[in-house]
Amino acid sequence: MDKIKSHLQAEDVFSAKEKKGLFKAIFSRRDVRGQFKPDDVPDEVLGRILNAAHHAPSVGFMQPWNFVVIKDPDIKQSVYNDFAQANREAAEMFEPLRRSAYQGFKLEGIREAPINICVTCDRERTGPVVIGRTHVETMDLYSCVCAVQNLWLAARAENIGVGWVSILHEQRLKEILDIPARIVPVAYLCLGYTDFFFNKPELEAAGWQPRLPLEQLVFTDRWGQSIDPAGGGFA
């Protein structure tokens, strides 16, 4: 077993160029829905992306995720059919003016994307008692979301777009993909090369919702206690 390093090594420090690349991936990541290209994603590229997801942090190091990689057009069509039904149901939940705007959005790329991936959570993977999950039982689900974020950022670094489709019936998705009863689907993702990435998230650009100022979201020491205005806030 490798010895645990006791001091920060030179190879552990990010260079200015590496930091710039990381923040570029974070700030230019987008939810891609309508601009997928039909080009195949090479297996070695997909492997790098999945390996990045697999290296996400997980509570108790339980690594509760699985990745169902979907390329079969018939399976994609079945998932799309469920989306279409769920999307109609969702539209009815908005008041008329918002409903009209909602119906104008393209909210998935299930059939266009060459690869779909369902990220799941096995909540029993390491037994009933897990370090760090003893008091917050949902920590394993949050760990899988970390895997999704890793996947998304790695894909962006590979110039591959990702779209998260959340307008689905969970039970129907499990039936389509033969997911066992104990397994929880966490995210259904569409992946593929894209013609372009939007400068802003589509919903922000469309005026559906603005990006909130960071200063409104950060408290000091206690909930509701704003940061010191004399400090100038965050750049």
Residue in 152, 139, 145, 86 with CA at minimum distance from that of residue 120: 145
Mean pLDDT of 65-71: 98
Q: Determine the pLDDT at residue 230.
A: 62
Residue 1 confidence (pLDDT) above 60: no
Q: How far apart are CA 216 and CA 220, in angstroms?
A: 11
Percent of the chain with pLDDT over 90: 90
Mean pLDDT of 59-67: 98
Stronger pLDDT, 222 or 228, i.e. the higher one: 222
CB atoms within 10 A of CB 126: 18
Mean pLDDT of 213-220: 93
Architecture of the domain spanning 32-200:
3-Layer(aba) Sandwich (3.40)
Helix 43-54 to helix 139-157 angle, to the nearest 10 degrees?
A: 140
Match 């601009």 to its residue by tokens: 35
Residue 235 confidence (pLDDT) above 60: no
Q: How far apart are CA 155 and CA 230, in angstroms?
A: 40
Mean pLDDT of 90-98: 97
Stronger pLDDT, 10 or 182, i.e. the higher one: 182
Across all residues in the chain, what is the average pLDDT? Answer: 94
Render pLDDT for 170-215 as a digit per residue (tens, 0 to 9): 999 999 999 999 999 999 999 999 989 999 999 999 999 999 999 9
Render pLDDT for 26-48 as a digit per residue (tens, 0 to 9): 999 999 998 999 999 999 999 99
Q: Determine the pLDDT at residue 141.
A: 98
Percent of the chain with pLDDT over 70: 94
Band (8; pLDDT cuts 50, 70, 90): confident
Q: Determine the pLDDT at residue 234.
A: 63
Mean pLDDT of 117-143: 97
Boundaries of every domain in the chain: 32-200
| Residue 127 Rama label (left phi>0; alpha psi -120 to 50; beta) | left
